[in-house]
Structure 1
């Protein structure tokens, strides 16, 4: 059985019209383009969505985990404000107060005569990370200096 054209059809048909039983090339090409476009848009969306997290990670920011959680919240709740807050946090440098406070605490321990954990491990020769808590400082035998208000003369 041969597939013949309908007598009412024009004799010159466009290339996208296929004969019955043959593969429609235009539909296959459109399907492949659609799948590639959906994957490309999805990857672009996820890449843009993780932008604050990548910025915070690249800059070694202290608030990296907060930015990551805000990004996940924005992804799963579709509240774009979380993403904007995460982007702003990723771009802002929050000062490291922990380093200064630990240096002040170490200086106060040294002034009080309490050995720091790292120094106590070095003195005792221990190399493990677990160190016994320092003993309480012994009261000093020297008298406390007298504090005189300014302008009293003595």
Structure 2
């Protein structure tokens, strides 16, 4: 490289200065480090962003879908409050009201003498005057259909 050096250049050049037309090793190493850093920070951001959804999924929360939607809203709108709300929902156990209400409905069906699981159907059958099956005929009274008001 000394025979191609500029006359104004110092006699000793640093090792990262390459020959004309040669491969710039420092630039290649810097590009690889930059690419790895961008991918690493991107993956870290994605893992942090999906934290509420992973917490809710791991603990089988009822509100998992709500947490997932809040995470998507936070991602696409850049409103960080959605992410915070999703994280709080993922950490809080919402009581299972459906189990309690289904037990209450089953007890009321038993008291009313309706077959288990037919509560809503049996009530609408009584209103419309539909005769229940043979097994339920004694337990559900048949009411005459109300007049429709048409002449």
- Give the shorter-chain TM-score range: 0.7 to 0.9
User: Matched residue pairs, number?
Assistant: 124
CA deviations 1:37-85 (Å, max 9, x no partner) are: 1011010001000000001111111111000000000000000000000
CA distance in 1, matches of 2:19, 2:58: 57
Q: Note the residue ranges of structure 1 that are not aligned, 5 or more in a row.
A: 121-132, 140-154
Corresponding residue for residue 4 of structure 1: 4
CA distance in 2, matches of 1:112, 1:138: 8
The structure with the largest helix share of the pair is 2
Deviation at 1:138, TM superposition (A): 2.9
Q: Name segments (4+ residues, structure 1) moved above 4 Å.
A: none
Aligned pairs (5 A) from 1:55-94? 55-94=55-94
Check whether the contact 2:114–2:140 (CA below 8 A) recurs between aligned residues.
no
RMSD: 1.8
Corresponding residue for residue 100 of structure 2: 100
